[in-house]
Amino acid sequence: MTQEVVIDLKNVSKCFKQYNHPVDRLKEIVWPANTKATEFWALKGINLKLYQGETLGIVGRNGSGKSTLLQVIVGTLTPTTGEVNVNGRISALLELGSGFNPEFTGRQNVFFNGRILGLQKEEIEEKFDAIVSFADIGSFIDQPVKTYSSGMFVRLAFAVAINADPDILVVDEALSVGDEAFQRKCYSKLKSFQDAGKTILFVSHSATSVVEMCNWAILVDSGEILLAGAPKLVVAKYHKLLYSPADKVVQLREEIRNFNGPITSIATAAATETGLKLPELGQKRNDPFYDPNLIPKSTIQYIPRGAEIVNPSITTLEGKRVNHLIRGQEYIYSYRIDFTESAHGVRCGMLIKTISGFELGGAASHTIFQPIDYIPAGTSLNVEFKFLCSLLPGAYFLNNGVLGLVNNEEVYLHRCIDAMMFRVQPEDDLLGTCIVDFQVESNTSVVQSSPRVTA
């Protein structure tokens, strides 16, 4: 990765004026000093520097300023104050198909939209077959787009934008559209962009996508960057803010703002969060055991809402506490919930993640249709999840959480991100690869080739 700066924002702010009556806007033109407009600052003093080849994840609540930030970077909005420097061609997936004319055919819109994205006619002609192949809409390419289904429309719009050969790609929730096969194709294309050293700005509400795709991330809230750092850390802080009670948001914003998290890569963040080196290959497989020093440094607790989770632990089926596990054996993940207030519609859960924060899987104690109806204040609930360790050697993290109904809405009464961590021990005769043990059995056989007959 080179150290060339491709995006540099210095003290960027954006103000929108809001008027109670349309005529007030006209009056301001004539009498600027007598404005009746209310100022809304969508961005406030944004400083951001992005280097070539980086993928930046941007998370934040609805209305936090994410889309405004992207539009300022792309150039569709002019900042009120500050300086924006962008070095390279940008292709933005902000509103897919916004440049399409519904009366034009797909073919005509490819050329029309391609020119908007900065391509010359010759470049579009050269890329046309690749665009049509990616969109996979067949003969509909020569039909008016007003006859397209929503899925076809989205596929063609994405295909045009992704094939514009940009230096910088801006993606704003565009990958949440289309069917699963098309989404996989889009992610594969983004991966090829990363391999080619392209720079990507990636906005998504999918925590897993941000953690998996991005080198680092920022949390935007009320027009400010509250936190920048490793994706796993930023996403966890974002979720804590997202699910915080309304009366605690201001306090939590200040807590996050004052958090001195590092701006780092996923790999560096992983080493920091585990605090331990992975075992060397070739170590002998042992019985499961407990290491009191195997404690995550990335634990984040949600603000309790009448319930608090305590004493998370992993034990063998015989009750022995462990955090170094053996692949293929069963274990119990348990914790206790102390209720300081009565609760309704209670459900409990657990989740297992990789070092980077990728969510591997988990479980809930009850379905959303059959929760625990009522738990009185002053009581506790013991929760156990028995699971089979189907994971290959490595370090993993565990979440826990308890849900309940508040004003007829299901919310977290308490949750802990990275409540504990465990390690699956290495094996010197292991043939499985990657993360999950699928119990694959291989078979090979040598086939004697027939001698070639020559005339």
Does residue 67 fall inside a structural domain?
Answer: yes
Q: How far apart are CA 295 and CA 276, in angstroms?
A: 9
- Sequence-separated contacts (24+) of 277-284 with Cβ below 8 Å: 278/394, 278/395, 279/393, 279/423, 279/425, 279/426, 280/426, 281/426, 281/428, 282/426, 282/428, 283/425, 283/426, 283/428, 284/428
Q: What are phi and psi of 93, to 5 degrees?
A: -105, 70
Does residue 129 fall inside a structural domain?
Answer: yes
- Say yes or no: 284 and 253 in one domain: no
Q: How far apart are CA 20 and CA 231, in angstroms?
A: 40
Tell me how far CA of residue 289 lies from CA of 285, 355, 422, in angstroms.
Answer: 11, 20, 10
Residue 337 belongs to a domain with what CATH number? 2.70.50.60
Contact between residue 132 and residue 124 where contact means Cβ atoms under 8 Å apart: no
Question: What is the tens place of the pLDDT at every residue in 93-148?
Answer: 776 556 688 899 999 999 988 887 778 899 999 999 999 998 888 899 999 989 98
Domain boundary among 199, 223, 257: 257
Task: Tell whether the model's pLDDT for residue 1 goes beyond 60.
Answer: no
Question: What is the tens place of the pLDDT at every residue in 346-384?
Answer: 999 999 999 888 899 999 999 999 999 999 999 999 999
Does residue 430 fall inside a structural domain?
Answer: no
Tell me how far CA of residue 256 lies from CA of 78, 122, 270, 416, 438, in angstroms.
Answer: 29, 50, 20, 16, 40
* Axis crossing angle, helix 231-242 with helix 266-274, rounded to the nearest 10: 70
Q: What tokens were used for 432?
A: 């499985």
Classify the C-alpha dihedral 62-65-70-75 as positive or negative. positive
pLDDT tier for residue 33 given thresholds of 50, 70 and 90: low
Predicted local confidence at residue 27, as pLDDT:
66
- Residue percentage of the chain with pLDDT more than 90: 56
- Residue 134, SS3? helix
Domain boundary among 223, 257, 291: 257
Classify the C-alpha dihedral 115-121-122-128 as positive or negative. positive
Task: Tell whether the model's pLDDT for residue 307 goes beyond 90.
Answer: yes
Predicted local confidence at residue 411, as pLDDT:
96
Average pLDDT over residues 398-423: 96
Predicted local confidence at residue 412, as pLDDT:
97
Question: What is the tens place of the pLDDT at every residue in 205-221?
Answer: 888 889 888 999 999 99
Does residue 382 fall inside a structural domain?
Answer: yes
Task: Tell whether the model's pLDDT for residue 454 goes beyond 90.
Answer: no
Does residue 264 fall inside a structural domain?
Answer: no
Task: Tell whether the model's pLDDT for residue 171 goes beyond 60.
Answer: yes
Does residue 265 fall inside a structural domain?
Answer: no
- Say yes or no: 215 and 302 in one domain: no
- Say yes or no: 56 and 110 in one domain: yes
- Say yes or no: 71 and 187 in one domain: yes
Task: Tell whether the model's pLDDT for residue 65 goes beyond 80.
Answer: yes
- Say yes or no: 160 and 301 in one domain: no
Predicted local confidence at residue 216, as pLDDT:
93
Predicted local confidence at residue 159, as pLDDT:
87
For residue 410, what are the β-bridge partners? Answer: 405
- Say yes or no: 364 and 234 in one domain: no
Predicted local confidence at residue 155, as pLDDT:
83
* Strongest mean pLDDT among 2-11, 283-292, 303-312: 303-312
Predicted local confidence at residue 29, as pLDDT:
64
Q: How far apart are CA 41 and CA 15, in angstroms?
A: 4
Residue 172 belongs to a domain with what CATH number? 3.40.50.300
Q: What tokens were used for 114?
A: 């391609």
Q: What are phi and psi of 388, to 5 degrees?
A: -95, 125
Whole-angstrom distance between the N-terminal and C-terminal Cα of the chain?
57
For residue 229, what are the β-bridge partners? Answer: 217
Predicted local confidence at residue 164, as pLDDT:
82
The domain of 414 spans 279-424
- Residue percentage of the chain with pLDDT more than 70: 86
Q: What tokens were used for 19?
A: 């008027």
Average pLDDT over residues 10-27: 79
Q: How far apart are CA 111 and CA 123, in angstroms?
A: 10
Average pLDDT over residues 29-45: 77
Burial profile 2-33: b = 16 or more Cβ within 10 angstroms, e = fewer: eeeebbbbeebbbeeeeeeeeeeeeebeeeee
Average pLDDT over residues 303-326: 97
Q: What tokens were used for 36?
A: 């009746």
- Say yes or no: 139 and 170 in one domain: yes
Amino acid at 50: L
- Say yes or no: 238 and 345 in one domain: no
- Say yes or no: 234 and 304 in one domain: no
Predicted local confidence at residue 264, as pLDDT:
40
Predicted local confidence at residue 279, as pLDDT:
36
Question: What is the tens place of the pLDDT at every residue in 221-280?
Answer: 999 999 999 998 999 999 999 988 889 999 999 999 887 654 443 334 433 443 333 333
Q: What is the mean pLDDT of the chain?
A: 86
Amino acid at 317: L
Does residue 245 fall inside a structural domain?
Answer: yes
More confident residue, 348 or 283: 348
- Say yes or no: 253 and 286 in one domain: no
- Say yes or no: 251 and 328 in one domain: no
199-203 vs 55-59, strand pairing mode: parallel
- Say yes or no: 236 and 286 in one domain: no
- Sequence-separated contacts (24+) of 426-429 with Cβ below 8 Å: 426/279, 426/280, 426/281, 426/282, 426/283, 426/285, 426/393, 427/285, 427/327, 427/393, 428/281, 428/282, 428/283, 428/284, 428/285
- Quote the number of domains for the chain: 2
Q: How far apart are CA 86 and CA 199, in angstroms?
A: 11
Predicted local confidence at residue 178, as pLDDT:
63
| Rg of the chain (C-alpha set) | 27
Predicted local confidence at residue 259, as pLDDT:
79
Does residue 95 fall inside a structural domain?
Answer: yes
Predicted local confidence at residue 276, as pLDDT:
35
